[in-house]
Amino acid sequence: MSKKNLIVNLAASHVSISAFRADGAKLVLEQFYTEDLTPALGDEEWINAATSAVTRLASSKNIKGTATVIVPSFLLLQKSLKVAQVDSARQAQVIAFEAQNNIPYPLNEVVWDSQIMSTDGVEAEVLLFALRTDQAGRIANAIALTGIRPQVIQAAPILDVQAQQFVSGGLADDEEVLFINVGARTTGLSFISSKGTSIQAANLGGNLLTQGISDNTGQPVINAESLKVGFFTHVIQLPESDPQFAILEANKQSFNRRLSQDINRRLISIKRLGRRPTKIVITGRSSQVPGLSQQLSEALALPVEEFNPLGVISLSSDISADYVMQHLHQLSEVVGEASRLLSPAALGVNLIPRDIAGQISFDSQKIKFAAAALLLALSPWLIYSAISDAVTYNSAQSNSEYWKNPKKWDEKKPDQFVEFKPGNLDKKILEIEGYQKSIKQSREDSLVVLAVNQQLEFVASNSPHWPIFLADLQSRVLTAKNTWIEELRVRRESAVVATGTEPDASRVATNVTRVTITTRTLLEKVPPGKSFKAQEFKERKAALVESLKKSPFVAEIPEDEIKVDFTKEANVPRTTLTLVIKSDQAL
């Protein structure tokens, strides 16, 4: 059975949904649909427009299933790091430390991941990507409502590298490619060689040309975009005497010159590091601006060729070749992700929040869980009923006339009498009754499991704060060195609170949620069973408590309910504390 990959690509100027299939060593494009977006949108407007477009495509084409979602570079924080080349576990710790220092947001407000791009045996070059958690959550949840279940949120810049490596089949030792993806809002630059890869992003794209046309013609941006696309694709014909003709040509030349200058500046910087690109491969819709390839070739003194993946993928019979050719310059990230079907160790990251990924996975399995729990609950009844009938039959037989005469004629042995012993049947009855009790107990246990499943489903469906609270709690505990949660209990209590600060303020009844957690802290410098000074532990405990108090869910942590236990393992003490949850963040 061939493997398949469903890909949702959220680009600045369009969205697309693609389905690929691996057929042996081939990559087959089975589905490809795209929809353009309004230009020059802000980040939040863009998310709304992009997810709405995905909803329309998924609904009209009846597309469902597990998918990878690609997000564009303008939503991402991208950092290149140099870290020591050590064992993988230690290196992961170093990268986590560097991430904390290089991401200008609290780590609980972003989803981050990294990819090692190259190493010389002493240092490794690591590419770090971060996406705001709220934006990742909005994208994943909105797409999940369409029936497409996001499993991975992938960073677009890293897929250009993967696409070029897949299409080229590898690079010679003396070959280096500058892969340029000219998008609507940014231009991605990937310096690719057999020794490693460096990725940069320039905040220049086709929207800059659109804005210039809009400013100089006085037209709204959306009209300027239509004029730009129509004129440069020769759909709109303007005489040279038309004032708009001169404006379009002047803005085109300005855009080409500015972009080539920016790329040349970056190329000079990377040449100082010993990198020497031997050619340019260009893609992206804005790469089709007339004269851009020639301008780049002259300014950078390098040959330029267009990215064309059709040499390594084939189209299914349901795909229009003309439609694919019209959107050929929108395929690099999609092909890069699809190549994972044939290269499981391909480059990539995953920026989907863990709690949302778990929730989406749970939602997709709820029907199966409910059916399994129901079958588990019913199955003992079927066995119980059969054995109960057998016991009833045997009891009737033991009390019948048949047993009043212990010697009875055996039809198979007419010359013999066979003596029957009712005592053996009594033993069998006791044995079966034992099975019956076991089955009854199994049924009761299965009902307990069913009840737990129903509670989990109720929490997931009706308490949307729980996944966010648990993620926030975990992130705050992780800030305390070598500390983890051992136990968590929830208690809901009724309380009476005043509606104001005045002495005569009315008082109302309310429910208060109290979450009691027990944490363990490893004091790595303390040998087991040895006495020690507790100052280090007190500092860690105080830091943990202060971090938890800053949680948006926590109203207070009563000091009198903070308990420390050193009795079992002195070097791994327990700390038990109670979090009183804010009423507006009820769990």
**295 in the same domain as 423:** no
Confidence class of residue 279 from pLDDT cuts 50, 70 and 90? very high
Rounded to whole angstroms, how far apart are CA atoms 300 and 264? Answer: 6
**504 in the same domain as 416:** no
* CATH value at residue 493: 3.30.70.60
Q: Residues with Cβ < 8 Å from 118, sequence gap 6 or more? A: 124, 125, 195, 196, 197, 198
Tell me the per-residue pLDDT of 16-42, one tens digit each, with 9 for 90 and over: 999 999 887 789 999 999 999 999 899
Q: Is 338 helix (H, G, I), strand (E, B) or coil?
A: helix
Give the pLDDT score at 497: 58
Res 123 pLDDT > 70:
yes
Is residue 120 included in any domain, yes or no?
yes
Least confident of 103-107, 198-202, 209-213, 356-360: 356-360
Res 393 pLDDT > 50:
yes
Q: Is 312 helix (H, G, I), strand (E, B) or coil?
A: coil
Give the pLDDT score at 532: 66
Where do the H-state alpha helices sit in 33-149? 43-61, 88-102, 133-144
**476 in the same domain as 580:** yes
Write out the two tokens for 579: 């979090």
Give the pLDDT score at 258: 95
Give the pLDDT score at 200: 92
Least confident of 64-78, 197-211, 277-291, 530-544: 530-544
Rounded to whole angstroms, how far apart are CA atoms 64 and 38? Answer: 25
Domain boundary among 330, 352, 374: 352
Rounded to whole angstroms, how far apart are CA atoms 196 and 161? Answer: 10
Is residue 163 included in any domain, yes or no?
no
Give the pLDDT score at 407: 47
Tell me the per-residue pLDDT of 266-276, one tens digit each, with 9 for 90 and over: 999 888 888 88
Confidence class of residue 464 from pLDDT cuts 50, 70 and 90? low
Res 365 pLDDT > 80:
no
Is residue 359 included in any domain, yes or no?
no
**245 in the same domain as 175:** yes
In Å, how far from its chain's centre is CA 345?
18
**144 in the same domain as 177:** no
Amino acid at 160: D
**424 in the same domain as 504:** no
Is residue 345 included in any domain, yes or no?
yes
Rounded to whole angstroms, how far apart are CA atoms 549 and 557? Answer: 7
**179 in the same domain as 136:** no
**492 in the same domain as 404:** no
| Segment 304-310 mean pLDDT | 94
**8 in the same domain as 120:** yes
* CATH value at residue 137: 3.30.420.380
Least confident of 37-41, 42-46, 88-92, 397-401: 397-401
Rounded to whole angstroms, how far apart are CA atoms 335 and 327? Answer: 13
Res 250 pLDDT > 90:
yes
Give the pLDDT score at 539: 86
DSSP 8-state assignment for residue 170: -
Supply the mean pLDDT for the chain.
84
Give the pLDDT score at 7: 97
Res 101 pLDDT > 80:
yes
**225 in the same domain as 191:** yes
Least confident of 129-143, 262-276, 443-457, 534-548: 443-457
Amino acid at 326: Q
pTM value? 0.64
Q: Is 128 helix (H, G, I), strand (E, B) or coil?
A: strand
Write out the two tokens for 105: 């947001």
Are the CB atoms for 363 and 148 separated by under 8 Å? no
**574 in the same domain as 490:** yes
Is residue 431 included in any domain, yes or no?
yes
Domain boundary among 413, 447, 462: 462
**496 in the same domain as 512:** yes
In Å, how far from its chain's centre is CA 501?
46
Q: What percent of the chain has pLDDT over 90?
A: 49
Least confident of 25-29, 178-182, 247-251: 25-29
Is residue 357 included in any domain, yes or no?
no
Least confident of 106-110, 296-300, 356-360, 460-464: 460-464
Rounded to whole angstroms, how far apart are CA atoms 428 and 586? Answer: 57
Q: How many domains does the chain have?
A: 4
| Segment 502-525 mean pLDDT | 77
| Segment 159-176 mean pLDDT | 89
Are the CB atoms for 515 and 579 separated by under 8 Å? yes
* CATH value at residue 183: 3.30.420.40
Handedness of CA 557, 558, 560, 561 (dihedral sign): negative
Write out the two tokens for 152: 């991975």
Rounded to whole angstroms, how far apart are CA atoms 15 and 330? Answer: 9
DSSP annotation string for 494-518: EEEEESSSSTT--EEEEEEEEEEEE
Res 382 pLDDT > 70:
no
| Segment 156-182 mean pLDDT | 91
Rounded to whole angstroms, how far apart are CA atoms 279 and 270? Answer: 15
Is residue 411 included in any domain, yes or no?
yes
Are the CB atoms for 399 and 392 separated by under 8 Å? no
In Å, how far from its chain's centre is CA 554?
27
Measured CA to CA in angstroms, residue 234 lies from 41, 65, 73, 229, 296 at distances of 26, 39, 30, 8, 22
Domain boundary among 421, 440, 462: 462
Rounded to whole angstroms, how far apart are CA atoms 327 and 453? Answer: 47
Are the CB atoms for 144 and 362 separated by under 8 Å? no
Are the CB atoms for 82 and 125 separated by under 8 Å? yes
Q: What domain range includes position 113? A: 1-156+312-352
Are the CB atoms for 240 and 47 separated by under 8 Å? no
Is residue 485 included in any domain, yes or no?
yes
Tell me the per-residue pLDDT of 422-441, one tens digit each, with 9 for 90 and over: 555 666 777 788 888 888 88
Tell me the per-residue pLDDT of 308-330, one tens digit each, with 9 for 90 and over: 998 889 999 989 999 999 999 99
Res 418 pLDDT > 50:
no
Confidence class of residue 402 from pLDDT cuts 50, 70 and 90? very low
Q: Residues with Cβ < 8 Å from 106, sequence gap 6 or more? A: none
